[in-house]
């Protein structure tokens, strides 16, 4: 049976301290408008938004990322490389469920950078007073940290560190050359150029792991799992993208046949992010390792979180199948079919289970249903006896609006096939 996936994992907005109980404010930072008249500075529009966004993020503030924003642009038919009107920015923010946004502009004259931003309240549309900072371009890091500090100070009730210096010390140093290469890399639509820029960013500042993470995601999307894993292993618990890197690394290691490494990555993630999707994937790895009882425990935790998820129910049935608990297999397959009565894999396995249970009257009826609904040949039933496996590795997309949950955002996307695991 072919394994299936739900969406592509885009984002887990988590701090390394774990999931917080209170729901965070959801913030969207728009690219700052380039008022310099110099098109070659276009990368700074995204770069300034990146710096401000990373400094705004905290357990109580969920900052939406560029991929999510771009998905919303696409849904609304908005251009990615043209400044939006305030009305269009409002539509994007509403679509993504943001409670507040940051809008602004910048100019660069000689080496003097001036940045101006405002809070844009979404539920009750209004703009705050402008906040402006100016200084040398070589001081970009310090300037945008000061700007973010002033932004937060302007909001009543925001939890704040005691001093601006304490706030600044929370973030790793940004080196201008490396940062420019990183931004040009993530913006590049030419794949070769993207890799070159990101590799150069990592070379110029190997202590900043943003480029390594971007390369890991790029190779993951290309299904180059060994290259993806090599870059993702660079990240550590102090990196903002560490949770997502563990998720992707677990899938990389799984497809590379490294069950032990996949288990380590996903186990760490499950301790940070106790989500059904994470436990499901951990269960898949355990099932392939022949640890059926442990796999079942993980599938049960996934299913408990969402009992309407047909994929979780199917994987529960697979764990019970390996444990030869056929009554339970049948029970969970019927839960799958309650969600999707035309699911051919569930019908095939249910036929197999009926045979194991000695249900001679039900078996022919199920086989006829398989043929009627899916145009499957009877030989498929025999093939399933050899190829039966868990099918569903789950990924977390964020290309649909969803309310924030305890410091992270996710939603569910369409199903599509993943390649079979290499033999």
Backbone torsions φ then ψ of 275, nearest 5 degrees: -105, 155
* pLDDT single digits (tens) 254-277: 999 999 999 999 999 999 888 888
| Structure-model confidence comparison of residues 3 and 347, the more confident one | 347
Domain with CATH 1.25.40.10 in the chain: 226-417
Q: What is the pLDDT of residue 358?
A: 66
Rounded Cα distance, 315 and 248, in Å = 20
Q: What is the pLDDT of residue 58?
A: 84
pLDDT-derived band at 23 (thresholds 50, 70, 90) equals low
Q: What is the CATH number of domain 20-171?
A: 3.40.50.10070
And the tokens for 63?
A: 């900052």
Q: What is the pLDDT of residue 8?
A: 29
User: Which of 136-145, 205-214, 234-243, 359-368 has the lowest average pLDDT?
Assistant: 359-368
Q: What is the pLDDT of residue 319?
A: 92
Question: Residue 108, SS3?
Answer: strand
* pLDDT single digits (tens) 315-340: 999 999 899 898 999 999 999 999 98
Rounded Cα distance, 321 and 179, in Å = 51
The CATH architecture one would assign to domain 226-417 is: Alpha Horseshoe (1.25)
Share above pLDDT 70 across residues of the chain, in percent, rounded to a whole number: 79
Q: What is the pLDDT of residue 353?
A: 81
116 forms beta bridges with 105, 132
| Structure-model confidence comparison of residues 417 and 369, the more confident one | 369
And the tokens for 186?
A: 């993530």
Share above pLDDT 90 across residues of the chain, in percent, rounded to a whole number: 60
Domain with CATH 3.40.50.10070 in the chain: 20-171
Q: What is the pLDDT of residue 365?
A: 52
pTM: 0.78
Mean pLDDT of 203-210: 95
Calculate the CA dihedral of residues 351, 354, 358, 362 and round it to 10 degrees: -80
Burial letters 244-281, b for 16+ CB under 10 A, else e: bbbbbbbbbbbbbebbebbbbbbbbbbebbebbbbbbb
Q: Rounded mean pLDDT of the chain?
A: 81
Contact call for residues 275 and 305 (beta carbons, < 8 A): yes
Q: What is the pLDDT of residue 362?
A: 53
pLDDT-derived band at 313 (thresholds 50, 70, 90) equals very high
Rounded Cα distance, 76 and 126, in Å = 22
């Amino acid at each position: 049976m072919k394994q299936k996936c739900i969406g592509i994992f885009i984002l887990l907005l988590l701090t390394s301290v774990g999931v917080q109980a209170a729901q965070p404010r959801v913030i969207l930072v728009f690219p700052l408008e380039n008022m310099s008249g110099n098109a070659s500075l276009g990368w700074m529009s995204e770069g300034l938004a990146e710096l401000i966004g990373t400094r705004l993020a905290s357990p109580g503030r969920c900052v939406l990322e560029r991929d999510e924003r771009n998905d919303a642009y696409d849904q609304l038919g908005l251009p990615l490389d043209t400044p939006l009107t305030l009305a269009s920015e409002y539509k994007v923010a509403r679509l993504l469920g943001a409670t507040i946004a940051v809008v602004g502009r910048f100019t660069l004259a000689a080496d003097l950078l001036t940045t101006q931003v405002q809070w844009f309240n979404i539920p009750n549309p209004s703009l705050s007073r402008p906040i402006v900072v100016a200084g040398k371009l070589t001081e970009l890091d310090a300037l945008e940290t000061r700007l973010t500090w002033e932004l937060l100070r302007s909001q009543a009730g925001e939890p704040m560190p005691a001093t601006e210096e304490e706030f600044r010390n929370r973030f790793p140093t940004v080196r201008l050359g490396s940062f420019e290469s990183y931004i040009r890399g993530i913006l590049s639509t030419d794949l070769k150029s993207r890799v070159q820029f990101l590799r150069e960013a990592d070379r110029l500042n190997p202590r900043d792991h943003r480029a390594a993470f971007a390369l890991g995601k790029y190779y993951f999307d290309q299904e180059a799992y060994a290259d993806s894993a090599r870059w993702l292993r660079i990240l550590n618990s102090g990196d903002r993208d560490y949770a997502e890197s563990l998720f992707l690394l677990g899938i990389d290691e799984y497809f590379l046949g490294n069950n032990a490494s996949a288990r380590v990555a996903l186990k760490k993630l499950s301790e940070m992010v106790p989500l059904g999707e994470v436990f499901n994937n951990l269960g898949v790895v355990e099932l392939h390792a022949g640890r059926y009882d442990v796999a079942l425990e993980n599938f049960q935790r996934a299913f408990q979180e969402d009992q309407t998820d047909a994929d979780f129910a199917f994987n529960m049935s697979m764990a019970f199948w390996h444990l030869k608990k056929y009554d339970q297999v049948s029970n969970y397959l019927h839960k799958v079919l309650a969600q999707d009565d035309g699911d051919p894999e569930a019908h095939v396995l249910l036929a197999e289970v009926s045979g194991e249970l000695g249900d001679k009257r039900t078996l022919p009826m199920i086989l006829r249903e398989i043929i009627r609904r899916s145009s499957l040949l009877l030989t498929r039933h025999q093939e399933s006896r050899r190829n039966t496996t868990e099918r569903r590795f789950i990924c977390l997309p964020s290309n649909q609006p969803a309310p924030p949950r305890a410091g992270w955002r996710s939603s569910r996307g369409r199903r599509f096939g993943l390649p079979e695991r290499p033999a």
